[in-house]
Every structure is written in C-alpha cells, then in structure tokens.
C-alpha cells in the first residue's frame, strides 16, 4: 500500500516535536515517540496505560544508528543483525547513556530492532531520531494489525495514525537477550528459535521462575493480548463443549481454521483464521480474530490450537497469554 510522503513527513515532524504517531510495521502497528525524549516517551506510557517498568522497543532505520542506543554489541548479536535486519527480530543489548531510563523502564539494557516496513523506515529517517514504539493498543488488549484496529482502540489519543495496510506478519517481533552467555528468547515471534540456532547455536526460551528470580523481561509478567470475552483453547472434545455452551444459550465465537469451517454449527460466530497448512497466515490473522470477537460481543471464545513449532510457537504464546485469567 502506497503512503503519501507528505503524510510521513508530517508524522516525522510530530515525532520531532515530542508527539505521538501510530505507524505500520511488518509485525503490528506501533505507537511511536522520540526514544531519546523522556517527556515524549512518557506520553506512550500514559496513552497505553502501560506500567512504567515495562520497557519499550526502540526502532532504528540504519545500522549506523545502533551505536547511538546500544554498546558492547557481542559477535553473536552482529551475526543476527546481518541475517535478520531489517525484520522482526528485537535484540536486548547494553544501552548507551543517551537513552533515557523512561525508555528502558529503568533497566540498563535496551530492546532495539530495525523494522523492514518501508513506511516505518522512512518515518525514522525523516524524524532523525530512534523511535520508541510498543504495539499501538491499550495495555493488555490485543495488538493492532491494521489501521482500523488502532482507530478503534486509541483513536483520539494519538496525534496521527498512518494507514499502511494490514501487517505482514501479524505477531510482534521475536525478542532475544544477547547480554548473557547464552542467548535467551523472551518473546517468540516470526523469527524462530530454529532459525536463530542455525546461525548462532544453543539458544533458550526464557522460563520464568517467579519464586527465585526477578522478572527479566517485565512485559512477560502481565496478562496480555486479551479480548473482552473469556478465551478457551480447545485441543479436543470441541463438539462436546460446543453443545454444552450452546445449550446454555451463550453467544459463542470460534477462532477456526479454514479447513474446519464446515464443522461448526450455524448458531456460532466463526472467524476464519486462514489455512492450518500455512501457520504464517494464521499468525497474520490471530489478533484480527480476537478483536473481531470483541466487536461482535460474544460471551465466550473458543479457539483451535496449533503445533508449537516454527511460527506456531508465537501463535500459541499469544493465545495462551490471551486466555490467562
Ligand atoms: O513487533 C514489535 O516488536 C512491535 C512493533 C511495534 O515493533 N513492538 C512491540 O513492543 O511489541 P512492546 O513494547 O509491545 O513489547 C516490548 C517487549 C515487552 O515484552 C518488554 O518487556 C520487552 O520487549 N523489553 C523491552 N525492553 C527490554 C529490556 N531492556 N529487557 C528485557 N525485555 C525488554
Ligand atoms: Mg504489546
């Protein structure tokens, strides 16, 4: 989708002046502000209702800008950068003094990525500063993957929203901590563990032991991506559950794969996530499905489940967090 250059210039001016712009990236829409301006970054937190200790991701457009925000970049991180940037991979690195604590939620590390979306790249270049941007949604809600999602959720509280069409990947970037001996994935995304290990060897998923450890990646501690109605992930006995809920007179929403559409009763509200045989299309549609269920005001949402391999790991991570009580 072509975006008018004058609109991107206008957005860049807003960023320079300390305002907020929602803009498209290849993963989800971001809520952007000048990453080096603490007052501007604070507006992101206020607008989202995001806890101040939950750091945001900083976006750059050129590799030469990395040294502005991060230092002591390890060899393995450079390998990842060479292979996966621009794209949906966020690296945790040591931050420079230029980056205010507001941006990193008080941490001495920074999350940084270079988006591949041409509008995001142009916006960052024209703004002439790294752009801090979490997903452009109210904290806890599903992330927006198109312009209308942002309008519905944040509408009036943003200075400008750029429509760049639907997001290519549909789930947020993979977040990987490169500051320790072994790389640790805090958040699975479209760049998979398998792809990363092929390049840099042993990599682990973060497993939080809340009893003995402080939380390493604050965002992972919160309930996330949740629609208004309760969400249940159904592996088997789908039919039994359906007839039970139907007999209770509930308005039932179903996140279904295309292959299975025919099997759901007419009284249910079915959202077609795409073909199970193409998990990347499921990822593209997962947040749209959750948000659609809210629009249709269902009482309860049932979702099919997916294998936890490749991008399936990211899909299940989002569904499991969205279904947490
Ligand atoms: O795809 C994406 O990454 C999108 C688009 C807009 O780029 N952005 C995004 O940002 O998802 P956000 O703020 O919603 O998610 C940032 C995640 C949170 O889980 C946060 O805790 C973690 O990254 N994070 C940020 N800085 C960190 C740090 N220094 N150490 C550990 N985790 C960090
Ligand atoms: Mg988010």
Q: What is the mean pLDDT of residues 151-179?
A: 97
pLDDT at 272 over 70: yes
Share of residues in the chain with pLDDT > 90 (%): 90
pLDDT at 1: 83
- Where is average pLDDT lowest: 206-220, 232-246, 255-269? 206-220
Question: Which ligand has its closest atom nearest to the C-alpha of 145?
Answer: 1
- pLDDT beyond 70 at 33: yes
Please work out whether the CB of residue 171 comes within 6 Å of at least one atom of ligand 1.
no
Q: 176 CA to middle of ligand 1, Å?
A: 10
User: Do residues 6 and 70 make contact, with C-beta atoms less than 8 angstroms apart?
Assistant: no
CA distance 177 to 8: 32
Mapped onto helix, strand or coil, the DSSP state of residue 305 is coil
pLDDT of residue 220: 66
CA of 25 to the centre of ligand 1 (A): 14
- The closest residue, in CA terms, to atom 12 on ligand 1 is 134
Peptide bond into 86 cis (omega under 30): yes
pLDDT of residue 87: 98
pLDDT one-digit tens code per residue, 63-103: 999 999 999 999 999 999 999 999 999 999 999 999 999 99
Q: Is 172 in the pocket of ligand 1 (CB under 6 A)?
A: yes
Q: What is the mean pLDDT of residues 16-34?
A: 98
Categorize the per-residue pLDDT at 222 as very low, low, confident or very high, splitting at 50, 70 and 90: low
Q: Is the CB of 54 inside a 6 Å radius of any atom of ligand 1?
A: yes
Residue 213 has pLDDT above 70, yes or no: no
The arithmetic mean of pLDDT across residues 183-201, rounded, is: 97
Residue whose CA is closest, atom 30 of ligand 1? Answer: 217
Contact 310 CB / ligand 1 (< 6 Å): no
How many whole angstroms separate alpha carbon 70 and alpha carbon 64?
11
Going by alpha carbons, the residue nearest to atom 32 of ligand 1 is: 217
Alpha carbon distance 287, 318 (integer Å): 9
């Amino acid at each position: 989708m072509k975006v008018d250059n004058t609109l991107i210039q206008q957005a860049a001016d807003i960023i320079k002046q300390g305002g907020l712009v929602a803009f498209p990236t290849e993963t989800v829409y971001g809520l952007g502000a000048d990453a080096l301006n603490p007052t501007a970054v604070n507006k992101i937190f206020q607008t989202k209702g995001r806890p101040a200790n939950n750091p945001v991701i900083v976006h750059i457009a050129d590799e030469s800008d990395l040294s502005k925000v991060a230092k002591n970049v390890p060899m393995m991180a450079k390998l990842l950068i060479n292979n996966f940037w621009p794209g949906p991979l966020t690296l945790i690195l040591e931050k420079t003094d230029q980056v205010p604590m507001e941006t990193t939620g008080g941490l001495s590390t920074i999350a940084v990525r270079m988006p591949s979306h041409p509008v995001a790249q142009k916006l960052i270049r024209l703004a002439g500063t790294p752009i801090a941007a979490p997903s452009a949604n109210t904290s806890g809600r599903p992330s927006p993957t198109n312009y209308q999602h942002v309008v519905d959720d944040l509408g009036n509280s943003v200075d400008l929203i750029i429509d760049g069409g639907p997001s290519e990947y549909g789930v947020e970037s993979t977040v990987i901590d490169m500051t320790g001996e072994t790389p640790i994935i805090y958040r699975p995304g479209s760049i998979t563990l398998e792809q990363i290990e092929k390049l840099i060897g042993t990599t682990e998923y973060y497993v939080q032991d809340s009893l003995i450890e402080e939380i390493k990646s604050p965002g992972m501690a919160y309930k996330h991506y949740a629609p208004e109605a309760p969400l249940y992930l159904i592996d088997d006995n789908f039919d039994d559950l359906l007839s039970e809920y139907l007999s209770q007179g509930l308005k039932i929403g179903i996140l279904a794969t295309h292959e299975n559409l025919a099997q759901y009763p007419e009284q249910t509200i079915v959202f077609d996530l795409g073909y199970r045989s193409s998990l990347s299309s499921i990822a593209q549609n997962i947040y749209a499905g959750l948000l659609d269920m809210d629009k249709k005001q269902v009482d309860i949402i049932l979702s099919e489940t997916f294998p936890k391999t490749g991008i399936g790991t990211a899909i299940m991570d989002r569904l499991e967090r969205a279904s947490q009580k």
